[in-house]
Chain A
Amino acid sequence: MALNAAWWTALGAAARWVADFTGVSSLRDARVSTDFYTIISLGEFPRCFLAPCQNNAESQDPGLDTGHMYAVNLWPMLLSCRVQMAAAATSVSISDSVWSHTGKIRYRVVRISDSAVMGTSSYYPATDAKAYATAITIGGLTAGVDYKLEAWIDATPDVSGYTEGWYKTLIEWTAPASGAPAIDVVGNWPQTIYALQVSLQGGGALGLYRLTTGRPQYVEIAPQPLQGDFTPIDTADPGYSAKLVTPWVYDNPDPVVGGAYPEDKAILTQWYRRDGMWDMYHYQPWAYFGTPPAVIAAIALQAGLAAAWIDQTLCSSADDAYTSDAPWSSLAAVPTLYASRKIGRTVADLVYDVIRHTRDLLAVTMAGKLAVISRTRPPTLATLTADDGVLAVEHGLTLDHLFNAATARFCSGFRQWGADGFRLDMAEATFACTEERALDSYAGDKWDVACEDTTSQGKHGRVDLPGTKESRIVGGVIKERVLASYPYWLDAAIGQALLVYWIGMDATPRREMRVRQTLLGCDYDVGTKITAATITGDGATVANLFCIEKEIDFDEMRVDSVLLEDPSI
């Protein structure tokens, strides 16, 4: 998917919605359009579900389908619905409603400024049920006004301990101006629940969200042995028992339907495997999926960076390169990666982590914009000559970038995403894990690849790609190696291709030039490729240099640039 104008428009719109929804506890999942779903849902909105919750409240054997995540709710509440805003922003339609106890549902829209009720629907459906697919439309809205959506579930019979009434706000929104793109919000609202981590094949992954202070609070889930786990039933295939065990959080008591359970708690609990249900579901908010430039743009947008501060032209061009340019075009899979934010690290750290999985350049340009500069499609200056205000040049060969041996681990830990027929557009990120029923991605060396250039080693000695030193026993012999890690890639095939590509660039010394110019040096930014530089005293032309540093002296009005040769192009 190219990052064309529509991408930026939609993603920018989504970013604004993120801002609008900040602090709104009930937003669970949202998307702008199918095209952007993977990024939007994974990266653009925090606290979203990757898979829809469905009611599992009253059945111990609900006959679950592959590809769905199931929740137990202890109170009659809305579990899921789809909210579609009309393009003119004058009405909303709520469809595919699912709730936990038999009864009816109705919705209303309330203007936030004065709590005026703009419209209340009738109860649906005519006959008590726990779902209603037909759209319920509430009109009379005005573009640009803030509203919220509420629901009332009339359970029959009444549920002991539950007082019926208008639910807490499901979503709030500022209606876009007339003519703005329709916003399609899919909400899963087990009230006040946030799933923290979901779904491991054959086992139960449990997540709990508890609303105690009016804003979301999260608890980190870490693997714990057999605490609160629901063991899968099947014993025919031991693979089914392979699972991660997820702990209860907040010392959650045993789930007892109808028991004394505070309203601000709810649980997601076990689901039962079905044949072919070998898929690992994974809930990871603030996670990003796509080509490296798209991921970086999504990270920045979600972090609140206005689209104007991202060099959209460069990012879009870099994105295009991943579908057309070598070595990507020679790979069977579209090169996509997966990244997630990490607590305690900065946004800059994260985008750097992403870019180091590539050979693209990353910069904040002279204009202050974040830019991903494609190695194969950079902004290009055809020539640089002495006539271009060149005052002085230092040049030589540098070994700083040379390596000629590499062992690296790719794709660590990423497995099946979604299931057949329910991939949420994640098809390209899907691993065929049907042959691996245990979560063993972190074990062994199956994701490791190695590459070396013996000719270069003969000239320069062995220089390893930096990584972690480790010792392994192979055939009774201890072997040491330096292992680099590139875990964000989702496709195992990419590893070998990347290492070959990289070592082809970096196994030889590079020319490096330090050029001092007049203000004409401002004609090109960092990241610019200079196709041919003829600025040395010997008259030689050096091809394919990238500007990797620039210093502008405003007293002398001169510009110093560092140009690094890229011999592979």
Chain B
Amino acid sequence: MALLLTADQIAAIKAGQKTRQVWYVTVPWDAAHSAFTPETRFHDEAITSPAPLLNVLKAGRRNYYAVNASPMDGRKLQRARHAFVVRNDTGKWYPGTTTSWWTNASTGYQAVPQECRIRHRVYVMLLTGAWSEITCLDFTGQVVKCDPTDLRRADGTIAGDTATIQMDAMGAWETLAHIYTRDDGASTWLDVQFDEVYGVP
């Protein structure tokens, strides 16, 4: 072992050391998205009091794929999508308020969730007691949607407000999702050949 993790991290995980997740929201400076604020931490499992509060109730999961395992492999390249659930008792996950997490604290610009990014980082406590980040899990996603919902007890009564936030991996995928148009150079005869004669491979 010890390919992406360090030997110290492997030893810590094997020993059952604590892990810690930290979540940040990044809000654009203005409607032009000329800049983004520094990351604002809204959740950190190593800090319970005072703020930032522990906002994330369900941390969710991410999937990754390596495609073309064989010519029979029909799986297509996919972005990593990550949905997680946050507390919304204070209503800070509703956009349109000056105190929401979607509001730029510096400029007052009230963004909608889809304009914002979420960063997720994971740490493990080494045997020395120091936190060590698992860097291969450092993830930044573009928010796709934020759905307010309720947290219910087993008997069905509402225990508090929550919100489900879904984000898609940025980085490489932002470019990969681009759809070619005629502005992307001239269309050519070979395009026609492939698409109409042979079909898209």
Contact = CB atoms under 8 A, between A and B. Distances in A.
Contact of A305 (B68, B136, B169, B172): B172
B188 A340 contact: yes
Given A363-B66, A523-B2, A368 B173 contact: yes
Nearest to B78: A364
A13 interface: no
A565 B57 CA distance: 38
B158 to A, nearest CB: 22
B117 to A, nearest CB: 12
Interface in B167-199: 169-195, 197-199
Contact of A220 (B72, B186, B193): B186
A144 B67 CA distance: 42
Given A197-B188, A400-B72, A554 B122 contact: yes
A326 to B, nearest CB: 18
A361 B64 contact: no
A47 B191 CA distance: 16
Contacts of A349: 200
A352 B178 contact: no
B32 interface: no
A454 B134 CA distance: 49
Contacts of A552: 61-64, 137
B138 interface: yes
B31 interface: no
Contacts of B72: 400-403, 465-466, 506
State the main secondary structure of chain A at its contact with B.
loop
Interface stretch (A59-67, A94-102, A225-233, A525-533): A525-533
How large, as a class, is the contact surface on chain B? 35 or more
Interface string A449-485: 0000000000000000110100000000000000011
Nearest to A342: B191
A364 B199 contact: no
Contacts of B47: none
Given A364-B77, A522-B134, A465 B71 contact: yes
Interface in A335-388: 340-353, 355-370, 373, 379, 381, 383, 388
A468 B122 CA distance: 47
B46 to A, nearest CB: 15
How large, as a class, is the contact surface on chain A? 35 or more
A519 interface: yes
B172 A218 contact: no
Contacts of B51: none
Contacts of B137: 366, 522, 552
A484 B178 CA distance: 27
B193 A218 contact: no
CB-based closest 3 A-B pairs? A368-B171, A554-B59, A286-B185
Given A221-B189, A304-B178, A555-B60, 16 more contacts: A221-B188, A309-B172, A347-B180, A363-B67, A364-B172, A366-B139, A367-B136, A368-B80, A368-B170, A406-B71, A466-B71, A520-B10, A523-B3, A548-B66, A549-B65, A554-B84
Interface of B: 1-5, 10, 13-14, 19, 21, 58-73, 76-80, 84, 120, 122, 124, 134-140, 169-195, 197-201
